[in-house]
Structure 1
Amino acid sequence: MGLPLLLRVLPLIALRSSASGDTTAAIGTFADVNTECKTCPHSLCPNILAYEQGESANVTCWTRGTRIIDTTLWLRSTSDCYVTEYDLNDNITDYTSALPYCGPDSEDEVLTLEDATLKYKTECRICPSISCDTVTFLKEETDVELTCWTPDGQVIIDDPYWMRTTNNCYVAQKNLYSKPDITNLDPCGPIPYLEIEKHFNENGTSDIDKRDAAPEPEVFAPSYLINATVGEDYALCRSCAKETCRVKRRYMFDQEVWLQCLVNTNGTWWSETTDFCYVKNSDFWQSPEGDYYRNPLCEYFEEPGTGPGDGDD
């Protein structure tokens, strides 16, 4: 007896042996965008695999999880991980008819969580690199909840570790007051390059899985904790971005200073340093407000979740 009509017209059929020795159908599909295949069908779950756009995947059953745009349907692959239906090729219109239900246990969300506090103004990014889109701007002293860690992020100062938060975005470990105890956290697994344009969950999800996107800069994404070098005999670091403000620190010639963000005071650019005081940008060899750095404006961090509407300068 042949396969049901619905299965015979699908683009690819694979057969998979289950643990019991039974044979179940696995439908072949492919990723429409770079996407993640997770330990459970929720956006905060750690990754088992990262699928690149166009990469094939065989799926064996369906379940329900985090709502992504307009669907709560997730599919388990033959690699025993879950990928949202939304990121897969849409030639299959009814996985729930073509495949069995994975079972009620498959819907569980299992996470590791650890509290942390930000030491500096921090951009929480959709993937762990300053080339990735900023999801939200978080002020210093903001409490965050960490879910997993990766050692493969972009090096910030001297540290490649980044942490995913329950905002469903990544912060650099260097921006935390202290290193978390990663023995209490799951590794995040392989992380593909993601873009808000393709992964912005515009309809929202449950609170813990919700990703709110900040408006994007026009050309370059801002970067944080950049270093600049004092180019004058000394540079005064003031309590606010004005010449009349109290001097808190004095940086010496050729001293390396780490910067957080920018302030424009009546046409004069200042940078807030990691000592939480302000130096005139004209005192540095570099121009932190230029297109090379695209350092964010300090005002972006005043209200968490807000961001630039028309670029960085």
Structure 2
Amino acid sequence: MGAFTPWLLFAVLFSQSAIAAIKPYIPTEAEYNTECKTCPRSLCPNQLYYGYYDPLNVTCWTHGTEIMGDDLWLKSEAGCYITQYDVLEYDGDYTTDLAYCGRASEIQELTLAPATLVYKTECRICPEINCDVVAYLNEDTDLDLTCWYPDGQLIIDDPFWLKTTNNCYIARKNLYLSTVPSLPDLDNCGPVPLLEIANHNNENGTSEVNKRADLGAMYLINVTVGEEYAYCRSCAAERCEVEKTYEFNEEVWLQCLENANYANGTSEWWSLTTDFCYMVNTDFWESPQGDYYRMPACERFEGDESGSPDDE
């Protein structure tokens, strides 16, 4: 065998140096509550999640959903993917210090099922009523659902929530019963941490961040009638047609609030019920605009900042 030439020797040394530069893993910590997913896409189910400053080792890098302007994702030693944005800043370059996870890592595989909303619904970044609102959706909105979560905020009598392709969660109770998908047809969403839009705005958002509720809004709350008879009307004014009559101490479920401003300069609060008619709030034992001050305004769902009757 002939002797190494200087060029061949340089090539071998360079190759060995490049291989040595690739690390088997890099230790880091989660900077925010974050999901670790089965693929590097925001719609993929969660395998687990990390809380603030939880330690983890990342073993390779790939590309996925753009989160806050960054589409680089890292594979945890647990075998799931976390966005680079959600870990502490690294004094280096993951794309040169770690191996590429491979083209197969960028493939998104989702289960999908159609459904339709029966009520006005807040689609939230996580399945709890204190999570940020991503979008306000009207009744009869058609959705594509990707996975289900069994332990969300109890809405009336149902703790199940489902994730939409807009990357937010809706309560199963808000769907037409005839359109509720069979859960075995969808993935389990996996564990979900408390998330914040400020740290997790991404390309799947359905509304501007500044349209979210500043306080965790509530919906489908129940109140009781405090009058002998209470009338549910076609619009939020006494002049409107009576569509339903409730009796004393009868339970009523509410969707949203409307502040009716009248031509004589007075105003009063009304609530839209799940029967899609309006009741004046003074007919209830509770005060929805007070006791339930975080209940959403109906105008958020309509995109109309006025929407109040102009006469009485």
Q: Which residue identity is paired with 1:221?
A: G
Contact 2:123/2:133, CA 8 A, preserved across alignment: yes
Contact 2:127/2:169, CA 8 A, preserved across alignment: yes
- Indicate the SS of the match to 1:63: strand
What are the Cα deviations for residues 3-58 of structure 1, in whole angstroms up to 9, with x where unaligned? Answer: 979989xxxx9xxxxxxxxxx71111110000000000000000001100100111
Query: Is the aligned partner of 1:184 residue 2:185?
Result: yes
Residue aligning to 1:58: 57
Change in Cα spacing, 1:60 to 1:211, as seen in structure 2 (3 Å) is farther
Q: Which residue identity is paired with 1:231?
A: G
Contact 2:122/2:133, CA 8 A, preserved across alignment: yes
Query: Is the aligned partner of 1:215 residue 2:216?
Result: no
Contact 1:261/1:296, CA 8 A, preserved across alignment: yes
Unaligned regions of 5+ residues in structure 2, if any?
A: 1-12, 262-266, 307-312
- Indicate the SS of the match to 2:255: strand
Structure 1 distance, partners of 2:253, 2:108, is: 39
TM-score, length-scaled by structure 1: 0.86
Cα drift, residue 293 of structure 1: 3.9
Q: Which residue identity is paired with 1:150?
A: Y
Residue aligning to 2:298: 298
Structure 2 distance, partners of 1:249, 1:292, is: 23
Contact 1:118/1:143, CA 8 A, preserved across alignment: yes
Structure 1 distance, partners of 2:59, 2:111, is: 27
Residue aligning to 1:85: 84
Cα drift, residue 307 of structure 1: 9.2
- Indicate the SS of the match to 2:100: coil
What are the Cα deviations for residues 253-282 of structure 1, in whole angstroms up to 9, with x where unaligned? Answer: 000100001111121111010000011100
- Indicate the SS of the match to 1:25: coil
Change in Cα spacing, 1:281 to 1:7, as seen in structure 2 (3 Å) is farther
Q: Which residue identity is paired with 2:185?
A: N
Contact 2:133/2:213, CA 8 A, preserved across alignment: no
Structure 2 distance, partners of 1:115, 1:273, is: 25
Q: Name the larger-Rg structure.
A: 2
Structure 2 distance, partners of 1:7, 1:150, is: 43
Structure 2 distance, partners of 1:65, 1:137, is: 26
Query: Is the aligned partner of 1:155 residue 2:163?
Result: no
Map residues 1-313 of structure 1 onto 2, 5 A cutoff: 25-178=24-177, 179-201=180-202, 205=203, 209-212=204-207, 213-218=209-214, 220-266=215-261, 267-290=267-290, 292-303=292-303
% same residue: 56
Unaligned regions of 5+ residues in structure 1, if any?
A: 14-23, 309-313
Structure 2 distance, partners of 1:115, 1:307, is: 30
Structure 1 distance, partners of 2:221, 2:272, is: 11
Contact 2:218/2:292, CA 8 A, preserved across alignment: no
- Indicate the SS of the match to 1:29: strand
Structure 2 distance, partners of 1:32, 1:192, is: 13
Contact 2:259/2:269, CA 8 A, preserved across alignment: yes
Structure 2 distance, partners of 1:194, 1:53, is: 11
Structure 1 distance, partners of 2:276, 2:91, is: 54
Cα drift, residue 70 of structure 1: 2.1
* Aligned-CA RMSD value: 2.3
What are the Cα deviations for residues 124-165 of structure 1, in whole angstroms up to 9, with x where unaligned? Answer: 001000011111100000001101000010000000000000
Contact 1:36/1:191, CA 8 A, preserved across alignment: yes
Q: Which residue identity is paired with 1:215?
A: K
Which structure has greater helix proportion?
2
